Amino acid sequence: MRTAAPFWETKSLESMSDQEWESLCDGCGRCCLQKLEDEDSGQVVFTRVSCRLLDTNTCRCKDYANRFKQVPDCLSVRPLTAEKINWLPDTCAYRKLSLGEPLEKWHPLISGCKDSVAKAGISMVGCCISETQVPISDYFYHLISWDNMHRD
């Protein structure tokens, strides 16, 4: 007996319900990291400096419902545009699905376990520091190379 394909394989991002959309977030916290963009090349690099609203112990927003009021430049990924895709990590489900790629095997919707993100070394829990503790001029001291981080 064949089971129905999961919603993320049959629906476009635009047609997903709010609940489906939100369930795609793996909770890694990477999108909440401060990023720097090279003005010449357009390359975006991530820092380990997080938004002030990110709880660095859980990688969850401290005020998700009001995040845009508190942090006006918070990245709203819905609707997802080509420009926004560049600001998301390559492991992000929104990015991957928009590019026609499958979810990672550690994604909670695939693994069935929300801890699989941390076990795969993708979560920023314990790896980031709040922007309240780092002056903007020092962000470049906190650049992250994803190649050096464990991935499963």
- Label residue 134 left, alpha or beta by phi (over 0 means left) and psi (-120 to 50 means alpha): beta
Domain-embedded: residue 79: yes
Q: What does the pLDDT look like over 23-62, one tens digit per residue?
A: 999 999 999 999 998 889 988 899 999 999 999 999 999 9
State the residue for tokens 């635009």.
14
Q: What is the pTM of this model?
A: 0.88
Q: Is residue 4 part of a domain?
A: no
Distance of CA 76 to the CA centre of its chain: 11
Tally of domains within the chain: 1
Q: For residue 36, tell me if it sits in a domain.
A: yes
| pLDDT tens-digit readout, 88-133 | 999 999 999 999 999 999 999 999 998 999 999 999 998 999 999 9
Range of the domain at 139: 16-146
